[in-house]
Amino acid sequence: MSKRAAAAFLAPFLILLPSLVSPFGVCLSRVHAATVPDDVLDAARSGRAGEWRIFVQIVLSGALQRFWRAGLTEGSVRE
């Protein structure tokens, strides 16, 4: 992977990172984690999914939209 391709791949994540450590991003992350139903997590565990797989495929996949929203909101507030 060239440096340009790596930079293009990492750019969205680098934009999100500051918004996740802001108070708004932390609050948004906490609210999202509380809204994941326990039944969904229990079903994944009974299907023999590990904690890492549950985090990536269920929690993180649902959180990406909220993280983008936090990043866009933080960016527009700071300017």
| Number of compact structural domains in the chain | 1
pTM > 0.95? no
What percentage of the chain exceeds 90 in pLDDT? Answer: 11
Q: What is the mean pLDDT of residues 47-72?
A: 81
* Band of residue 19 on the pLDDT scale cut at 50, 70, 90: low
- 41-48 long-range Cβ contacts below 8 angstroms, 24+ apart: none
User: The domain containing residue 71 runs over which residues?
Assistant: 3-78
Using the predicted structure, report yes or no on whether residue 76 has a pLDDT greater than 60: no
